[in-house]
Amino acid sequence: MRARNRVSGVVAGLLLILSTGCGGVGTLGGHGTPPASAHVFLVVEENHSYSQVIGNPSMPYLNSLAAKFGLATQYYADVHPSIGNYFMLTCGQVETLDDSFGGIVKDDNIVRELVKVNKTWRSYAESLPSSGYLGGDVYPYFRHHNPFTYFSDVQGTSQAGNVVPFSQFSSDLSGGTLPDFSFIVPNALNDAHDGTLAAADQWLNTNIAPLIASSAIQDGGLLIIVFDESVLTDLSHGGGHVSLVLVGPNVKSGFQGLTMFQHQSTLRVVLSTLGVKSFPGASAAAPDMGEFFK
């Protein structure tokens, strides 16, 4: 019996090391509180499954980040089509399954919670016609990839000025004027919606590599790159198996998480790392992603 107890203790210790160490493969259910971040960035890509992305030689840059930092191996989108996932990422509810939706969302959302605690935000949307533009599609810009344009907290308020073209991102980065939270929306040609995965990867390499090298990330910042949904035939957990990569100095090196997460957990980790204590919709009960952090 004593020998069995000793063996059990060794096994428990190994599991603890795996779940809390700085690399390797995590254990199921390993959670914790993510550390605070001065800047959080969320980049959303489009419509490809985990197996199409991870290990794909056409995406060397994203795969290099997945290998160096944190990769969620059991991450699933919530629904098909896209718009419901974008709303889950920002207000914790699907809201609609109509990509042509033109209404106003009055539910609690990420803008409301950030403003409550005096945190700043911007949605950087590539090919957006102008700052403050809240209207419909202007190809290759898709409105339903930019959920901030629907919120009652933005519509008809001064917050609309935080919806800006992605062309402003580089000047904000170089000028040290980035907000606390940045939502980054490549256009339909560069997010793999209409373009190739290779083109999406090149866009990330060109535009996100300078961010990772900057003090906005190196001084404790957090970058999350996630695909909104899988291919339409993949209905697992609603929206299919997709990839999510976490990047930053507080992320465990080479860590692969085994816990199942969905977009509501991403919303939760964005807010919690920025010091927000109130979580909209399903993010209130979503599992935390603390296992990815040192």
Question: What is the domain range of residue 119?
Answer: 23-292
Supply the pLDDT for residue 33. Answer: 81
pLDDT exceeds 80 at position 18: no
Q: How confident is the model at residue 31 (pLDDT cuts 50, 70, 90)?
A: low
CA distances from 93 to 16, 20, 191 (A): 34, 31, 23
CATH code, 100: 3.40.720.10
Predicted confidence (pLDDT) per residue in 200-219, tens digit:
999 999 999 999 999 999 99
Residue 60 lies in a domain: yes
Q: Are 27 and 288 in contact (CB under 8 A)?
A: no
Supply the pLDDT for residue 23. Answer: 61
Predicted confidence (pLDDT) per residue in 46-86, tens digit:
999 999 999 999 999 999 999 999 999 999 999 999 999 99
Residue 15 lies in a domain: no
Distance CA 116, CA 276 (A): 9
Q: Are 66 and 54 in contact (CB under 8 A)?
A: yes
Total domains in the chain come to 1
Residue type, 286: A
Residue 234 lies in a domain: yes
Q: Are 205 and 190 in contact (CB under 8 A)?
A: no
Residue 17 lies in a domain: no
Residue type, 97: L
3-state secondary structure of 246: strand
Q: Are 44 and 192 in contact (CB under 8 A)?
A: no
Supply the pLDDT for residue 7. Answer: 34
Which tops the pLDDT comparison, 5 or 262?
262
CA distances from 109 to 88, 105, 128, 191, 226 (A): 9, 9, 22, 24, 19
Mean pLDDT across the chain:
92
Residue 8 lies in a domain: no
Distance CA 166, CA 147 (A): 15
Record the pTM. Answer: 0.91
Q: Which residues contact 149 (CB under 8 A, 6 or more apart)?
A: 123, 133, 134, 135, 143, 155, 163
Residue 14 lies in a domain: no
Tokens read off for 46: 């489009």
Supply the pLDDT for residue 234. Answer: 98
Predicted confidence (pLDDT) per residue in 147-203, tens digit:
999 999 999 999 999 999 999 999 999 999 999 999 999 999 999 999 999 999 999
Which residue do the tokens 């199921």 mark? Answer: 28
Average pLDDT score over residue span 74-103: 98
Supply the pLDDT for residue 5. Answer: 40
Region class of 258: left (phi > 0), else alpha (psi between -120 and 50), else beta: alpha
Residue 200 lies in a domain: yes
Residue 4 lies in a domain: no
